Chain A
């Protein structure tokens, strides 16, 4: 910008100077309001957000068949997961609380319909042999597996069981060893009913009181205690023992319903006792005075 000399101060500034000044002042000028050309619109929801009125779709629950037809399964294996009963449990299969179908026996899975059982239902069952087929023909004997093995009882247990019979039975032992010969000898007398078997027959001691007669047995939880029925009957047995000797443990006579005479007697005794007490009390009072 050329320096404004004092000599040219009286003259008007040059055009260039004026434009420069107007440029510099333009920014300070109050601008006129501009007209909006585009009206901005916003929507209620975006594609990325959850819906306003519809339910959200959750994670998949992995329902459906877990074991295919013909697969070997063991008891407990899940065969089918479902909501409700699209499939029903068939032979040797069972249903859990959420309608899950489990295998009930070791075997091979079969998916089938059984119109004899229900006209519309579909079943999942187990067969024991790969060649077997479900459903079984109507009125056929059910297929069952024992699933058990036979063991000899431990010596102590079998001894205890044998002991019982030896003590209790005065019956002559029937000499047959198996059922076949039993059927042949139809003249054998029928066994008489057994005497009362008491496991502690050997350990019973002569009762010299309640404590002696209540014997301690090993109960669940490794505690030795008398059984509840013995405790409950202790009073009864004490009374029976006393009566055998001609005495009684009763403080009062046995209550007989309808026996007004006994009731009157009892109340008369009580009234007399009360009167006596009252009289004594009066005497005392007099004595005190």
Chain B
């Protein structure tokens, strides 16, 4: 067989998996990856070599791509195979993966480094103390609640309970903050956001960069103060059109924004909450007024979000109980400046007993509140004040005239797809001739 005769010529081709590997191939490299790769290819799991019946012309139908482990791939070829065949990305750095591949599996907490283990022991003692604190604080809160106080001192008791609860939350976080396993789990994306420590770490991460970018975009594009006078974003949002993420302030093609987007709203404090989503465009051109007006492109209420269930599909919301104004595609007429489509997340107020959140009656709003069931001239500040909502999140995308806008407007039945805006001519000032004695 020509293949066998040429086997020696391919001995240098270490990475190729087409050949019979029963003969040991000597690696000329002394660096770890090559050695490891050779070890990889000689693991007993893959002991069965590819059948030698494969010829040049007909590839063997029995060979299937080898399953790679995302934790142990350490060569570019293996990483490429992982990406292509299993569509997963490798975990951690290449050095780490090579180390994991070459050592046996030791749990992180049992790594044999003396200083590390001493520190672990110290932190565990500290954690036990904090758990004891937590137990004591809970007991004290219960005792204080049971204590009878004269009515004029009720406010002191309430303040005290509130402060003690705040202290309890702080202690809960302090108990877990020093745990390296917690940190690692969070960084791997496996943190359970029902627990306060992971929520805090996620919030911190968001505030470190992405929130700053969001606030900068909102401020420089003047969404604040044009739509609302001020906002303090507390929840993080992501906006997705047709499966593609939109960065804050991006231009979105009119055909892409023709269908309602999906959002993820991530709160960083515990418990389920009800939110209202309003999409307001503050750049509607008004020729009579020689200015701009507002238009509401979407309004929906009573959307329940928890730290672990964050996804909202705007087109899947209940049209009876949740949606006040269904999705109107974003459009910018020809010649008009770009339209800013601001998405506001508004938290609904708590119920009187403080247990749940008030629901907004969508049907009643549609029927009885003409100011908020009309799209044109929608004043978001008025809406927020009327229903005692709290703005907690904001997002932004932009739209302008492009080749699909006319089609989008026609399909949605919007007047004005054949309107073009042109700049008004400004009359020049009359020429003032100055005294000829001093000026020529």
B368-397, CB under 8 A of A: which get 1 and which 0? 000001111000000000000000000000
**Minimum C-beta distance from A30 to chain B (A):** 68
Chain B positions within 8 Å of A, measured between CB atoms, are 6, 10, 13, 15-16, 18, 56, 77, 222, 224-226, 229-230, 242, 255, 258-260, 285-287, 289-292, 295, 315, 319, 323, 325-328, 334-336, 366, 373-376, 403-404, 406-408, 410-415, 417-424, 426-429
| Interchain residue pairs A-B with the least CB separation, the first 9 | A139-B229, A161-B406, A176-B413, A158-B418, A148-B421, A186-B319, A153-B418, A179-B375, A191-B411
**A177 in contact with B421 (CB, 8 Å):** no
A178 within 8 A of B: yes
**A194 in contact with B407 (CB, 8 Å):** yes
Interface centre among A146, A174, A194 (most CB of B within 10 A): A146
Q: B295 contacts which chain A residues (CB < 8 A)? A: 179
A150 within 8 A of B: yes
Q: B18 contacts which chain A residues (CB < 8 A)? A: 260-261
**A153 in contact with B420 (CB, 8 Å):** yes
**B419 in contact with A173 (CB, 8 Å):** no
**B226 in contact with A153 (CB, 8 Å):** no
With A139-B225, A190-B259 known as contacts, the answer to whether A148 contacts B291 (CB < 8 A) is no
Q: B426 contacts which chain A residues (CB < 8 A)? A: 74-75, 106
Chain A contacts with B in 142-172, Cβ cutoff 8 A: 142, 144-153, 158, 161-162, 164-165, 168-169, 171
**Minimum C-beta distance from A253 to chain B (A):** 12
Q: A210 contacts which chain B residues (CB < 8 A)? A: none
A77→B325 CA distance, assembly (Å): 45
Q: A43 contacts which chain B residues (CB < 8 A)? A: none
**B415 in contact with A177 (CB, 8 Å):** yes
A140 within 8 A of B: yes
Chain A positions within 8 Å of B, measured between CB atoms, are 72-75, 77, 106, 139-142, 144-153, 158, 161-162, 164-165, 168-169, 171, 173-180, 182-183, 186-187, 190-191, 193-194, 197, 258, 260-262, 264-265
Given contacts A148-B421, A158-B418, could you give 10 more A-B pairs where the C-beta distance is less than 8 Å?
Answer: A106-B426, A139-B225, A152-B420, A178-B415, A180-B374, A186-B326, A193-B258, A194-B258, A194-B407, A194-B411
**Minimum C-beta distance from A15 to chain B (A):** 79
A169 to chain B: closest residue by CB:
B411
A168 to chain B: closest residue by CB:
B407
**A165 in contact with B410 (CB, 8 Å):** yes
A186 to chain B: closest residue by CB:
B319
* Sample (5) of A-B pairs whose CB atoms are under 8 Å apart: A73-B429, A139-B229, A152-B420, A153-B418, A191-B259
With A148-B285, A261-B18 known as contacts, the answer to whether A173 contacts B411 (CB < 8 A) is yes
**Minimum C-beta distance from A137 to chain B (A):** 10
**B404 in contact with A194 (CB, 8 Å):** yes
- From A73, A149, A190, B260 is in contact (CB under 8 Å) with A190
B334 to chain A: closest residue by CB:
A153
A98→B392 CA distance, assembly (Å): 43
**B411 in contact with A179 (CB, 8 Å):** no
**A141 in contact with B255 (CB, 8 Å):** no
A9→B198 CA distance, assembly (Å): 151
- From A149, A178, A190, A197, B315 is in contact (CB under 8 Å) with A190
**Minimum C-beta distance from A31 to chain B (A):** 64
A141→B283 CA distance, assembly (Å): 12
Q: A187 contacts which chain B residues (CB < 8 A)? A: 319
**Minimum C-beta distance from A136 to chain B (A):** 9
A179 to chain B: closest residue by CB:
B375
- From B222, B406, B427, A74 is in contact (CB under 8 Å) with B427
- From A158, A171, A182, A193, B413 is in contact (CB under 8 Å) with A182
- From A74, A158, A178, B428 is in contact (CB under 8 Å) with A74
A77→B260 CA distance, assembly (Å): 45
**B225 in contact with A142 (CB, 8 Å):** yes
Q: A77 contacts which chain B residues (CB < 8 A)? A: 429
A199→B169 CA distance, assembly (Å): 62
Q: B259 contacts which chain A residues (CB < 8 A)? A: 190-191, 193
A72→B427 CA distance, assembly (Å): 12
**A162 in contact with B410 (CB, 8 Å):** yes
Q: A183 contacts which chain B residues (CB < 8 A)? A: 325-326, 366, 373-375
With A74-B426, A174-B413, A193-B255 known as contacts, the answer to whether A148 contacts B336 (CB < 8 A) is yes
Q: B10 contacts which chain A residues (CB < 8 A)? A: 260
**B6 in contact with A264 (CB, 8 Å):** yes
**Minimum C-beta distance from A235 to chain B (A):** 26
**A146 in contact with B225 (CB, 8 Å):** no
- From B258, B323, B374, A191 is in contact (CB under 8 Å) with B258
**Minimum C-beta distance from B97 to chain A (A):** 21
A179→B293 CA distance, assembly (Å): 15
Q: B415 contacts which chain A residues (CB < 8 A)? A: 177-178
With A151-B419, A182-B328, A186-B319 known as contacts, the answer to whether A145 contacts B291 (CB < 8 A) is yes
Interface centre among B230, B259, B323, B411 (most CB of A within 10 A): B411
A52→B212 CA distance, assembly (Å): 58
A136→B161 CA distance, assembly (Å): 44
Q: B6 contacts which chain A residues (CB < 8 A)? A: 264
A182→B374 CA distance, assembly (Å): 10
**A147 in contact with B424 (CB, 8 Å):** yes
Q: B229 contacts which chain A residues (CB < 8 A)? A: 139-140
**Minimum C-beta distance from B124 to chain A (A):** 50
A60→B418 CA distance, assembly (Å): 55
A171→B408 CA distance, assembly (Å): 12
**Minimum C-beta distance from A164 to chain B (A):** 6
A172 to chain B: closest residue by CB:
B411
- From B13, B319, B411, A171 is in contact (CB under 8 Å) with B411
With A186-B319, A193-B259 known as contacts, the answer to whether A146 contacts B286 (CB < 8 A) is yes
Interface centre among A142, A148, A194, A262 (most CB of B within 10 A): A148
**B325 in contact with A197 (CB, 8 Å):** no
